[in-house]
Chain A
Amino acid sequence: MSEEGRNAEEVRYRALLDLDVSRPEAREELVTGLHDESWRVRRAAADGLVRLPERGAVVERLIAVLGERDETGARNAAAEALSGMGASAVHPLVHLLGHADPDQRKFAADILGQLALPEAEGALVAVLLEDGDLNVRVAAAEALGRVGGRGAAFALERVLSNPEPLLRLSALESLAALRHPPPLAEVVPLLNNPLLKRSAYRVLGLIERPEVVALVCRGLAASESRSTREAALVALGQHSARMADGGRPAMYAAVGEALRRLLGAVSWVASALESGDIEVKTGALVAAAALREPRLAPLVAEVAQEERLVPEVMRTLACFGPETGRELLASMDRLSLPAREAAGQVLVDMVDPSFVPELVQMLDWGEVDLKGVAARALGRTGALDAVEPLAGFLSIPELAGVAARALVALSAGFRAQVLQALQTSLERGAEPVVLNALVRVGGTSQLPLVRRIAREASVPLRATAVEVLAAVDPSGGLELARVALVDEAPRVRAAAVRVLGQVGDVSLAPLLQRALADDALEVRLAALEAVGECGAVALAADLEALVRHPDGAIAFRAVRSLARLGVLRDEVIQQAVGHEDHEVVKAALLAGAASGGGEALALGLLDHAHWDVRAAAARVLADSREERLLPPLLNALLSETDALARRALVDAVERLSGR
């Protein structure tokens, strides 16, 4: 296209984007746009038509465009617009399924498939079984794969024995899309049909019958055809995804035996692991687990780039054994990041003391995530020579946590050495997590050091020292916390307030009241929690005032603390139930339920705007065990569209009706 032509196109495109759709002429201007030579303009016109207010009239106009046989671009754009019209397009399109022109009927079926609304199921089933034109029937079969429903599935099963291969193919594909397993006897004859076998194997994978594994293995061992083997792999992946862990060893044994009969099985599985087809990859993972060939391990790990397959990747790698651990370790720095993540996690579970040298070498590599894997794995080796390298990471913020946890794990066998490493690190100003680990390993013997740190160290260490001391020496901790309440750092004051909550009592209410008015939000939030924890009922009025606070964090904690104190009044609960933050509403509902007033609250919340509040209300009603609450629950169920809230309502109905 010339520069001039491109500019003219852009002008027409922009004009349609800026069109005022409320103007009466807008519809025809957009319909004209559907006929534009530029796909961008046609697209803008289709989008504009979807936004028009009079949907019924727009649908009729679009259907008229579908009938313009020589206007391919306009017809496709009209079809695109119709597929955006929702339920208002279903009836006219169902009517179009009866048009004399098969081309129009096919369009109607295609668009109904795009709409994927169950209202079209019956009409599409009728077309699938009765239309005189093969293309229209195929379109109906494909559409039913998106529309779904029991009628659709059974009708698709019926055409599996139709002599037209194209119809059988689309039926198989749609059954696969619906995840509806047809009878095995219908599928077996299709496994040898070159056109149908790939789809036939796909649905074979959905069938829960013991014979399926043997059929899949037969396909895998079919040395003459790569496509048959790949189709069998697809079925294997499908079958495996539904299989309980207990059934896997037998499946792996059968698959391994079949693959070993195949020349070059390892290279073939390797290439399947690198396939662009996710279903082939899924099956290849099962094949790799069956072969347990260490060389395949890095390729298996790379499949983790497809995030949906990560659980299967982990399961597969776990089948391999320690030799694979070394293979993974050797290739770790060349793997992609998702692969490293998956491999690292498996590696951590595989290591033994003999892995220490390689893991120590890995600690020298640059990437933080690799160092993290190595540190975690070293903690699992149970080896003394893992202590020193781990200690080297205690002063690195990104790695201190994982290294400290690894050292705590090693302290089961080497307590003195680990303590020494942690102490040395603290003397050099390590991270707070190291202090935590030290007390975890050393207990009360470390208190002098903790006290010293609490006086002089960095803010994070001071804050941690206050909490750690209270965990091992409550009275000493309380004393230190009172001092820390006037620390200049909010983080330290917040830690002190938490300690007051955990080990204090009602006598500390004045201190907590001051903390509730602290300048720092961090301290106020800690104080809200602490009031409830230590039973400072005297501060109930302060908390009640905060229930109406617009910040959900404050209101939520106020409600919870009042509930914990046992002084949450009905009036305050009502205020909380009206809060904008749904977590505050749920906290009030649960508090109300705990104090015996939950039913009325829950009934009122069954139509709350937020799905999780409705689900929580359903659970509260279910816990009441009152059969008289069934009618409102059933009523709510009728209008519930959210899947999780619906599940909660169904559970509640079942519990209350004794099912």
Chain B
Amino acid sequence: MPFDTGRPEMTAEEFRLLRDFVYAYCGILVRDDMKYVMERRLWPRLEALGLTDFSTYYRYLRFDAQRRSELETAVEALTTHETYFFREPRQLKAFSEEVLPVLERRNARTRRLRIWSAGCSSGEEAYTVAMLLLESGRFEGWDLEVYGTDISRRVLSVARLGEYGPSALRSTSPDKLARYFVHVGPNRVRVRDDIRAMVSFGHHNLRDVDTVPLTSRVDAVFCRNVLIYFDAPARQRVLRLLYDKLVPGGYLMLGHSENLINLSADFELVHLRGDLVYRRPELGGGGGT
């Protein structure tokens, strides 16, 4: 029975086996200095499954009938999903004031706009983008869609529900809080229904290039603080995927501490007044939409 088990220590060999296995599954690399993090995050799984050591857990992931779902659970445990509304405001301001006008002009004929929040976690970023689209006042009557995808099914269910507490709102101003949320409890708010209707969520492993749940190319991708989980080859694969899914001239937004140096020259760096973003060049391989 899974009670009162002492907390086992992960050996170097167990760490390496688990790390390599997780990497092969999703390209997420747990660095050597993260052994403690892996041990701490996976220990509750051992506890829940009634296992006594990490070797047994590794074999469970490899050989048990429930291996696939447990592997997904393990990856969920290893990725932190830290996010909140209106994170990295400088970039969001540049997106609103400088990128959206360009996209408005480019897509004026189709009046259609698609934005992908890749690695959307519990949905705060995808909803933030939807709020920015609405707030810009540029797209009334347009066909707008924001897609949020993440490898964790658990966070996606939170995203769909659209209910959040103070931690998720720590960068949200009172006026935005009043405008885009409704109170559902003393410490809980829910994203307004019309904004939730603009956003779709889906499960996707960014390593898996064949199953992107997007039917058409997108005009902008937010992939902020996601590449940090991957090593260089996996980052290059992910960037190739993002490149392929962007329309020529489409924008890529990375986290403020991320850049493409030594990773990809496929994208061109765009110097906006308020920030630097990347863009898929107008011409190039990959065919049309």
Interchain CB contact under 8 A, B40 and A310: yes
Specify which chain A residues have a CB less than 8 angstroms from the CB of B80 in the assembled complex.
Answer: 307, 337-338
Question: With an 8 A cutoff between CB atoms, is B178 at the interface?
Answer: no
Q: Mark A397-414, 1 if CB is under 8 A from B, else 0.
A: 000010001001000000
Q: Which of A308, A364, A433, A553 contacts B34 (CB 8 A)?
A: A308
* Interface pick from B112-120, B145-153, B195-203, B279-287: B279-287
Total interface residues on B, CB under 8 Å, equals 42
Interchain CB contact under 8 A, A644 and B281: no
Interchain CB contact under 8 A, A612 and B17: yes
> What is the minimal beta-carbon distance from B288 to any residue of chain A, in angstroms?
15
Q: Mark A337-367, 1 if CB is under 8 A from B, else 0.
A: 1101000010000000000000000001111
Residue of A nearest to B31 (CB): A308
Residue of A nearest to B33 (CB): A308
> What is the minimal beta-carbon distance from B100 to any residue of chain A, in angstroms?
20
Query: Within B218-243, which residues are at the interface with A (CB < 8 Å)?
Result: none
Q: Which of B12, B33, B63 contacts A552 (CB 8 A)?
A: B63
CA distance A366 to B48 in the complex (A): 22
CA distance A44 to B268 in the complex (A): 13
Question: With an 8 A cutoff between CB atoms, is B192 at the interface?
Answer: no
List 27 contacting pairs A-B, 8 Å CB cutoff, sorted by A. Answer: A6-B281, A9-B281, A10-B281, A10-B282, A14-B283, A18-B285, A40-B268, A308-B34, A336-B82, A336-B84, A336-B167, A337-B80, A366-B164, A366-B185, A367-B165, A370-B165, A433-B2, A436-B2, A525-B65, A552-B62, A552-B63, A553-B62, A553-B65, A556-B62, A583-B59, A644-B12, A644-B13
Q: Which of B65, B167, B188 contacts A337 (CB 8 A)?
A: B167
Interchain CB contact under 8 A, B17 and A310: no
Indicate whether A14 sits within 8 Å of B265 (C-beta atoms), given known contacts A367-B165, A644-B13. no
Interchain CB contact under 8 A, B16 and A644: yes
CA distance A294 to B15 in the complex (A): 35
Q: Which of B65, B84, B165 contacts A333 (CB 8 A)?
A: B165
Question: With an 8 A cutoff between CB atoms, is A494 at the interface?
Answer: yes
CA distance A285 to B48 in the complex (A): 32
> What is the minimal beta-carbon distance from B46 to any residue of chain A, in angstroms?
12
Question: With an 8 A cutoff between CB atoms, is B125 at the interface?
Answer: no
Question: With an 8 A cutoff between CB atoms, is A43 at the interface?
Answer: yes
Query: Within B252-289, which residues are at the interface with A (CB < 8 Å)?
Result: 265, 268, 281-285
Specify which chain B residues have a CB less than 8 angstroms from the CB of A320 in the assembled complex.
Answer: none
CA distance A9 to B234 in the complex (A): 27
Task: Please list the residues of chain B having a beta carbon within 8 angstroms of any beta carbon in chain A.
Answer: 1-4, 12-13, 16-17, 33-34, 36-37, 40, 47-48, 59, 62-67, 80-82, 84, 163-167, 170, 185, 187-188, 265, 268, 281-285
CA distance A494 to B64 in the complex (A): 12
Q: Which of A6, A365, A583 contacts B62 (CB 8 A)?
A: A583
Give the interface SS of chain A, mostly helix, strand, loop or mixed.
helix
> What is the minimal beta-carbon distance from A43 to any residue of chain B, in angstroms?
4
CA distance A468 to B3 in the complex (A): 13
CA distance A436 to B284 in the complex (A): 60
Total interface residues on A, CB under 8 Å, equals 59
Interchain CB contact under 8 A, A405 and B16: no
> What is the minimal beta-carbon distance from B226 to any residue of chain A, in angstroms?
15
CA distance A43 to B66 in the complex (A): 45
Indicate whether A43 sits within 8 Å of B265 (C-beta atoms), given known contacts A308-B33, A405-B3, A557-B63. yes
Q: Which of A310, A365, A522 contacts B187 (CB 8 A)?
A: A365
CA distance A528 to B47 in the complex (A): 24
Specify which chain A residues have a CB less than 8 angstroms from the CB of B81 in the assembled complex.
Answer: 337
CA distance A401 to B170 in the complex (A): 30
CA distance A471 to B47 in the complex (A): 18
Interchain CB contact under 8 A, B282 and A366: no
CA distance A364 to B187 in the complex (A): 9
Residue of A nearest to B186 (CB): A364
Residue of B nearest to A398 (CB): B154
Residue of A nearest to B3 (CB): A408
Known: A13-B265, A13-B281, A366-B165. 4 other contacts (CB 8 A): A335-B167, A401-B48, A552-B63, A615-B13
Question: With an 8 A cutoff between CB atoms, is A243 at the interface?
Answer: no
CA distance A549 to B84 in the complex (A): 48
Question: With an 8 A cutoff between CB atoms, is A11 at the interface?
Answer: yes
Specify which chain B residues have a CB less than 8 angstroms from the CB of A218 in the assembled complex.
Answer: none
> What is the minimal beta-carbon distance from B263 to any residue of chain A, in angstroms?
10
CA distance A105 to B286 in the complex (A): 43
Interchain CB contact under 8 A, A367 and B167: yes
> What is the minimal beta-carbon distance from A138 to any residue of chain B, in angstroms?
23
CA distance A440 to B3 in the complex (A): 9
Question: With an 8 A cutoff between CB atoms, is A334 at the interface?
Answer: yes
